[in-house]
Structure 1
Amino acid sequence: MRQIVLHMGVSLDGYIEGPHREIDWHVVDDELHQHMNDELGAMGAFLHGRVVYELMADYWPTADADPAAPAIIREFATIWRDKPKYVYSRTLQEAGWNSTIVRDVVPEEVAALKAEPGGDLVLGGAGLASAFLRHDLIDEFRTYVHPVLIGRGKPLFPVFDGRLPLQLLETRVFGNGVVRLRHRRVREAG
Structure 2
Amino acid sequence: MRTVTFCINISLDGYCDFHIMNPCEELMGYFTEIMNDVDLIFFGRIMYQLMFPYWADVASNQSGTNNENRFADKFTSINKVVISNTLESAEYATQIIRSNPAEELLKLKQQPGKKIMVDTISMLPELISAGLIDEFKLVVHPLIVGTGRRLFDIDSLQEKLTLKLVDTIKFKSGCIALQYLKQ
Structure 1 length-normalised TM: 0.87
Tell me which amino acid in the other structure corresponds to 1:174. F
Within 5 Å, which residues of 2 pair with 1:56-135? Answer: 56-66=51-61, 68-135=63-130
CA contact (8 A) 1:9 1:146 kept: yes
One-letter code aligned to 1:86: V
- How many residues in Structure 1 have an aligned counterpart in Structure 2? 181
- Give the corresponding residue for 2:7: 7
Deviation of the 1:12 alpha carbon = 0.4
SS at match of 2:27: helix
Structure 2 counterpart of 1:155, one-letter code: R
Letter in 1 for 2:28: H
User: Which letter does structure 1 place at the counterpart of 2:19?
Assistant: I
- For the residue of structure 2 that corresponds to 1:47, the secondary structure is strand
Deviates more, 1:26-35 or 1:99-108: 99-108
CA deviation after TM superposition for structure 1 residue 29, in Å: 1.0
The residue aligned with 1:23 is 19
Aligned-pair distance for 1:122? 0.5
Deviations 1:4-60 (A, max 9, x none): 10000100011102xxxx622x24111111110111232111111101111111311
Gaps of 5+ in 1: none
Partner SS for 2:16 = strand
- 116 and 165 in structure 1: CA distance in 2 versus 1, 3 angstrom threshold: same
Quote the RMSD (CA, aligned, Å).
1.7
Distance 1:67 1:108 in 2: 37
Write out the 4+ residue segments of structure 1 that deviate beyond 4 Å after TM superposition: none
Contact 1:105 1:132 in 2 (8 A): no
2:141 corresponds to which residue?
Answer: 146
TM-score norm. by structure 2 comes to 0.90
